[in-house]
């Protein structure tokens, strides 16, 4: 099965930046969509961004648009999430997830993500 491992989380002051990484292994399909999600205690999981590997098309939730940037290094099988201008409300466990790619953009809500990482904690102090 596909294995995903997140890294790059930590404790940072408001206004700071982090770059999260999602490294994939055991990939068995030709194309994929990779999503970044976050979940804080007592809140539902939120999809913050995604990317379709084949063409690099991306999606951002309104809550992070303009501050987060997703990118993919296909040779390294790694997807990154650059997070700038961090706010306390960004505090959450961040997960990456993968699903076989299709014709629709990743932001269409069509995809049910089958593979998930274990998460990396992002904590933003005020």
The band of 40, judged by pLDDT with boundaries at 50, 70 and 90, is very high
The band of 109, judged by pLDDT with boundaries at 50, 70 and 90, is confident
CA dist., res. 56 & res. 70, Å (int)? 9
Give the pLDDT confidence of 68-101 residue by residue, as tens digits.
999 999 888 899 999 999 999 999 999 999 999 9
CA dist., res. 35 & res. 60, Å (int)? 10
CA dist., res. 105 & res. 7, Å (int)? 25
Element housing 108 (H / E):
none
Q: Mean of the per-residue pLDDT values for the chain?
A: 95
């Amino acid at each position: 099965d596909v294995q995903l491992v997140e890294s790059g989380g930590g404790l940072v002051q408001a206004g700071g930046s982090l770059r999260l990484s999602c490294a994939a292994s055991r990939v068995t399909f030709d194309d994929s969509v990779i999503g970044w999600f976050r979940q804080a205690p007592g809140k539902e999981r939120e999809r913050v961004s995604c990317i379709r590997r084949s063409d690099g098309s991306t999606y951002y939730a309104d809550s992070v648009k303009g501050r987060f940037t997703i990118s993919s290094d296909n040779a390294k099988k790694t997807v990154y999430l650059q997070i700038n201008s961090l706010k306390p409300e960004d505090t959450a466990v961040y997960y990456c997830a993968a699903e076989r790619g299709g014709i629709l953009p990743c932001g269409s809500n069509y995809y049910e993500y089958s593979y998930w990482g274990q998460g990396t904690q992002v904590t933003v102090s005020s």
